[in-house]
Amino acid sequence: MMPLDHSHLTPLLEVNALSHRFAQARPDQWAVQDAALRLYPGEVVAIVGESGSGKSTLLNCLAGRITPTQGEVLYRAANGEQLDVHHMPQRQRRVLARTEWGFVEQHAADGLRMGVSAGANIGERLMGQGLRHYGDVRQNALDWMQRVELDTGRIDDSPRGFSGGMRQRLQIARNLVTRPRLVLMDEPTSGLDVSVQARLLDLIRLLVARMHVSVLIVTHDLGVARLLAHRTLVMRHGRIVEHGLTDRVLDDPQHAYTQLLVASVVTP
């Protein structure tokens, strides 16, 4: 993935000295420790690391779902205002979550409403933004089903009858239909067959580039980082131990842990 020149841009997301310890953890057991990062408009950044390294905890802190023990998360809103994610009214955070942000869950069932149709899953985000005309909502849902390569003939079907890959594509459509500025993704392709994964990754790459959306993606799969991310952060034991342009991090890792991670990837 080609690097982006963001020297002239202000970050969309800025994380400073963020640490989190879960309530029941030992006093010295930090899930995330002193994390700092910047995400620029149109940029895709991957957070990689083995299981338990703190990736999901960090992502949930960024989304405002977990209040970090220390540190701050600043978001530059569409109106130019810089907002402190953990010190804004809950109502404002909820509005952002359905307008300017998206969150793609690892398990699509967690990010979809399984009791309503595929079309309604896409349409309700638009209605949440104030679109009321039924015909327009349905047309938008149809367009998005096409964009994520879902059979439009299944618009009235429940996602319960969809395969894992179809559900994940539906979840992506549900998130992108409102044209968010920031999308957080937690292992969106894990648990899928390799061929389904490859198609989904291609689709994400295409949509993200076309829409100029900023993405933070958590993955334990370095291939996902390689394909999607301009920059990559490597986490170990809650700390970001290395960060840089993805190709540099993966081709010329500086930290011993990254070298191990890279070496343990089986290359064909």
Ligand X SMILES: Nc1ncnc2c1ncn2[C@@H]1O[C@H](COP(=O)(O)OP(=O)(O)OP(=O)(O)O)[C@@H](O)[C@H]1O
Residue 41 to residue 10: CA distance in whole angstroms: 8
Among 33, 56, 99, 168, binds ligand X (CB under 6 A): 56
Q: Which of 1, 39, 55, 215 binds ligand X (CB under 6 A)?
A: 55
Q: Per-residue string for binding with ligand X, 218-237, x by CB under 6 A?
A: --x-----------------
User: Which one of 48-56, 95-103, 156-164, 194-202 is the stretch in contact with ligand X (CB under 6 A)?
Assistant: 48-56
Question: Between 199 and 220, whose beta carbon lies closer to ligand X?
Answer: 220
Element (H, E) at 143: helix 134-147
- 89 class by beta-carbon count within 10 Å (0-12 exposed, 13-18 middle, 19+ buried): exposed
Q: How far is the CB of 76 from ligand X (least distance, A)?
A: 25
> Rounded to the nearest 5°, which phi and psi values hold at 267?
-100, 140
Determine if 54 is a binding residue for ligand X (CB under 6 A): yes
Q: Is 165 in the site for ligand X (CB under 6 A)?
A: no
Beta carbon of residue 39, minimum distance to ligand X (angstroms, whole number): 18
Strand order in the sheet with 214-219: 101-104, 182-186, 214-219, 44-48, 231-236, 239-245
Q: Is 22 in the site for ligand X (CB under 6 A)?
A: yes
- Beta carbon nearer to ligand X, 106 or 158: 106
Residues 6+ apart with CB under 8 A from 162: 118, 154, 170
Task: Tell me which DSSP letter residue 128 carries.
Answer: H
